Amino acid sequence: MLTALSIRNIVLIEALDLAFGPGLGVLTGETGAGKSILLDALGLVLGNRADSALVRSGEDQASVTATFEFAALPAPLKEALDDAEVEIEPGEPLLIRRRLKADGGSKAFVNDQPVGVALLRSLAGSLVELHGQHDDRGLVNPRGHRALLDRYADADVAGVTAAWESWRKAREALEQAEGAIEQARADQDLLLAHLSELTNIEPEEGEEETLANSRADMQKGEKLAGDLEDLRTVWDGSDSPLASLRVAARKLDRIAVEHPLLAEALAALDRAVIEAGEAEEKLQSAAEAMLHDPQELDRIETRLFELRALARKHSCQVDDLPEVMRTMRAKLDAIEQGDADLANLQKAERDAHEIYRGRAEALHATRVSAAMALDEAVAAELAPLKLDAARFKTAVADQPEEKWGPLGMDSVEFLIATNPGADFAPLNKIASGGELSRFILALKVALAEQGGAATVIFDEIDRGVGGAVASAIGERLARLASGTNGEAGQLLAVTHSPQVAARGATHYMIAKSSEGTVTKTSVASLDDAGRQEEIARMLSGAEITDEARAQADRLLEGV
């Protein structure tokens, strides 16, 4: 709730520090005293547009600081602060400061960390709910009506949300499968043609390297064919050097025993014959390896060309072609299997849809029943608030399936008709701000909750009424401020009604004073005697009489 408001140099306010507590706080003062300045100042820290005209005349800048404290930080506030990377420790107050320059421009801070004004606006809905002449938030905004009705009905929205998520996932799985099969069927003829082409060639992993090596060897053989032929003549025939060495070795073998040097010569000659023989064998093997067969070379080159052309066609390496074939076969198999899988997914989607629809219809019935009860509860509050000719209706409408969602299939909006026979219209279409505020009060009392905001402000809810109606308004404001489950809320009311003012747990008087050409607005928290005097003034006008004081006492004692 709002615990402190510090204002510096805003219009007629030079310096003002206010402390607020739980329960009903009332703000009173003569017309023109500056009550609207307080609301304008509070609006700055809630993200309203910064108008340099708010800066007090003769000052360079103005500032407003609001302090909010919570037993536990509400989830929406924590989420917004986390998203903005603003740190706040558990139990630490939330300080929002807005600084405004006279020459234009403003800066915003949350717990002394610079932030954008957009963050202030996102926090505002959980901090302060303002009902007044131009209210377009809180209960007036139709976007929150469904959640309010569900809270009133204690509806099982979580079960519908879970069913929606299951249906959404089943629907997505079905759509993906249908898309995949549709695409596969569109590609089926092309897949069959490509697979036939690959099957005719039947590529093998590692085949490219083997073929390339064989082609390289044959090309080398073709290049060296003349030299190899010349070398072959060295070894072939009876007149070849190798044959002559062998003849010499046989002759030397017969006489080697005659002298040691002859034996050594024989050994050297034998080695030469052996090595020459090894050389002959290697040359023969090399010639066979590099044998140039023009037909085989043409076959290898044709095969390589076909394989590489297919690899380019499928944007892959030659060695990847077998995997491409397997992938194509798998896609074709999936088309055949797809119908069976699709049937299972269709059944799962239908089942999930039916579960969601059943829960959403049950939620719809709960909402319709709760709407009737809420309409009766609000109707009971209208007559005491001088709205006995008005009618209230909670419209729960089925939406087309394309608008169904995790919160069900309904749209919910609070509607009112202010005169007999008049058509129902949204709350925010009401012409009279006083009527609107009293409708909001009646709705809040019927809902028995505080609309989600930490602090609720009613701006002149008692405009145009008095007597018993004003007393009824005050009684309901006090009841709302007392909270539920024993936990007091915080409600502030700007009022001209002594009956409402008498209900306040705290009373703030706003006054304007002048010293020469300088005019200032001040706010004072009143004690018991001050309250009696202020309420007496509200009862009697400019001149406070003893009778007015006595009547003020009766009002204060009556609460």
pLDDT, tens digit (0-9, with 9 covering 90-100), for 287-331: 666 666 778 888 888 999 999 999 999 999 999 999 999 988 887
Is residue 402 exposed (0-12), middle (13-18) or buried (19+ Cβ within 10 Å)? exposed
> What is the Cα Rg of the chain in Å?
48
Q: Which residue, among 366, 350, 405, has the nearest Cα to 160 in the 3D structure?
A: 405
Contact 389, 420 (CB under 8 A): yes
| Residue pLDDT, tens place only, 256-285 | 888 888 888 888 888 888 888 888 788 777
The CA-based diameter of the chain, rounded to the nearest angstrom, is 168
Describe the chain by its helix, strand, coil percentages, rounded to 5.
Answer: 60, 20, 25
CA distance 244 to 548: 154
pLDDT score of 65:
95
Pairing of strands 506-515, 23-28: parallel
As a dihedral over the C-alpha atoms of residue 75, residue 77, residue 83, residue 85, rounded to 10 degrees, the angle is -120
Describe the strand order of the beta sheet including 425-426 as a list of residue ranges. Answer: 391-398, 410-417, 425-426
Contact 448, 480 (CB under 8 A): no
**Element housing 165 (H / E):** helix 157-186
Query: Which residue numbers in the chain have pLDDT < 50?
Result: 136, 450
